[in-house]
Amino acid sequence: IISFPVTKTVDVFKSVVYRIPALFYDRNSETLLAFAEQRETADDASTKNLVMRRGTLKDESSGWSEFKIVEKAKLLNCRPMNPCPVFEKNTNTLFLFFICVEDGVTEQWQIKNCTNKARLCYITSEDLGQTWSDMRDLTDKLDEIKNWATFAVGPGHGLQMKTGRLIVPVHAYACVCASHSSCCCNIMCMCMCSCSDDRGSTWKLGKMFQTQSGECQMAEIFDGDKSSIYCNARSQGCCRVEAISENGGADFHTLCNATKLVETCSGCQGSVVSFPAQGEGADAEGDPKWLIYTHPCDPCKRFNLGVYVNKSPKDPSKWSKPWIINSGPSGYSDLAYIGNGWFACLMERGVKKETEQIASVVFSYDDIKQCPTMQCIMSCQCFKCP
């Protein structure tokens, strides 16, 4: 369906400050939907709107429509943040999850005061974002949220399992002190998922990780016919947190030997999707899936966006060295699998700072496989990080 001869990078959001990319691909219409936060400055508390653009892959131009504000993604006196689309294929319904945070309130203030000012919201569309439903607020329907200091979804995409279960990645700041559920003496950030088994009518939360973990994305993988959910999460250490759920996201166990994927100093969001095994791997029994992952590969700063592949998703030692998809300042990203071994990536990048623009690039598994320099450009030789 797609036969681009080379990778091609196209600006999607720029001029004012746009951050936090999220991407959805509809295979039937070969349409990309790109989402982002429109901000006054790079500061998280300055977000004003969620915006979107529609892109096509029917020719090499990868043309993008004029951007528009997602007007329905608003709550009075709040700022919408962290777009996270997930598609329900049985009803052809696109869910756009996000959080709404009280204007002027920062994440750090919420954590310090152990007072949540974020709300879990979503809107839906049955025509790929041409029109949207009114906003629904799930905050008061999920009892766990009242004990959190704050939380967010994604950012990036959610997923629908082969069984039909919808999964939205979540991370929350909560007290891990055993003495009292509302105690604020030991706040940690930990991942979990929100899921629905009735096509999005009702939602419930899985159990939190037992390991510190932040912004995350998830993908479905298979051992033969057995499904698992893989999670890749931001950490406060030198390596990413990787975890597996064997029960559809109800709970996860972290992979103790996950040391190959570098985390940047102070951390950065990354994206992961599963895709059908290619070449000789496609001959395995069942529905074999590989993983592809994007994240800045410099250990000291958000620099050089790398693409990694893992052909044995439950073994974190099997990640490839990264292929650099964007040299220079690089930040958050979101991946979508297009089909036939092709991918699209929406990424923050710039010349001086990674927050200068959001761009898209289309590439194939063959591009990664054939790259003779499939290694990280370690430009940072310093002994301390800024």
Q: How far is CA 169 from CA 59, 107, 178, 308, 377, in A?
A: 33, 18, 25, 21, 30
**CA dist., res. 252 & res. 242, Å (int):** 10
Sign (positive or negative) of CA dihedral 124, 129, 133, 139: positive
| List 18, 230, 332, 337, catalytic entry | 332
Residues with Cβ < 8 Å from 273, sequence gap 6 or more?
A: 157, 217, 219, 291, 292, 335, 336, 337, 343
| List 44, 88, 102, 287, catalytic entry | 44
| List 37, 107, 298, 348, catalytic entry | 348
3-state DSSP: the chain helix, strand, coil percent, rounded to 5? 10, 45, 45
Cβ(48)–Cβ(79) below 8 Å: yes
Q: Is 44 labeled as catalytic in the residue annotation?
A: yes
**CA dist., res. 199 & res. 186, Å (int):** 36
Q: How far is CA 292 from CA 169, 321, 332, 371, in A?
A: 17, 12, 15, 15
**CA dist., res. 210 & res. 254, Å (int):** 8
Do you know the residue count of the chain?
A: 386
- Structure-token pair, residue 328: 């220079």
Backbone φ, ψ for residue 261 (5° rounding): -90, 115
Q: Do the bridges between strand 289-296 and strand 271-276 make them parallel or antiparallel, or are there none, so unpaired?
A: antiparallel
Cβ(326)–Cβ(9) below 8 Å: yes
Q: Is 18 labeled as catalytic in the residue annotation?
A: no
Distinct helix (H) and strand (E) counts, the chain: 2, 24
Which residues participate in catalysis according to the annotation? 44, 332, 348
